[in-house]
Amino acid sequence: MSMLQEFKEFATRGNVVDMAVGVVIGAAFGKIVTSLVSDLIMPPIGWITGGIDFSDMKWVIRPADNSNPAHKIPEVAIAYGSFINTVIAFLIVAFAIFLLVKLVNRFYQKAAAATPPEVALLTEIRDLLKNKV
C-alpha cells in the first residue's frame, strides 16, 4: 500500500473527520468565549473592583526608552492582567464543556434506559417460551 493511499485512508476515517470538525468548532467557540470574557464579564468585574482593567495590568521590569529615536528600547513587562483574563476564559470554557458532557451523558443514560419495544416483546416471548418447556 502506498504512502498516499494510506494517508487518504487515514484522513477519510470518521474519527479524523469528526476531530477536524471539533477543532474548527472549538476555535470558533474560543473566539466566542474570548469576546464573552473581555466584552461582557470583565467590564462588570472591573466596575466592582473600582474601574480596574485587568488586561492592562502589568509589572514593568524595564520601562521603554524612546529618548533616542535611532535606538528605541522597548518596555519589558510581565502582563499578569492578560493572564488573569486567560484564566477566566479557561474556567468558562471548562465549565461550558462540563455542562455539555453532563448533558450528553444524561441523554445517553436516557437512551440506554429506554428499552425499544421490539426488544421488550422479544424478551417477553422468550420468557413465555421458557415457562412452556
Helix ranges restricted to H, the chain:
3-11, 14-35, 42-48, 80-113, 117-132
What range defines the domain where residue 126 resides? 3-132
| Amino acid symbol at 37 | V
Distance CA 118, CA 116 (A): 5
Q: What is the CATH number of the domain that holds 77?
A: 1.10.1200.120
Distance CA 100, CA 46 (A): 29
Count of domains for the chain: 1
Rounded alpha-carbon distances, angstroms, from residue 72 to 68, 78, 117, 128: 6, 19, 78, 91
User: One digit per residue, pLDDT tens: the chain, 133 residues?
Assistant: 688 888 877 777 767 777 888 888 888 888 887 788 778 887 887 788 787 777 788 999 999 888 888 888 889 999 898 888 788 878 877 887 788 788 888 887 776 677 788 888 888 899 999 888 6
Indicate the pTM of the whole model. Answer: 0.52
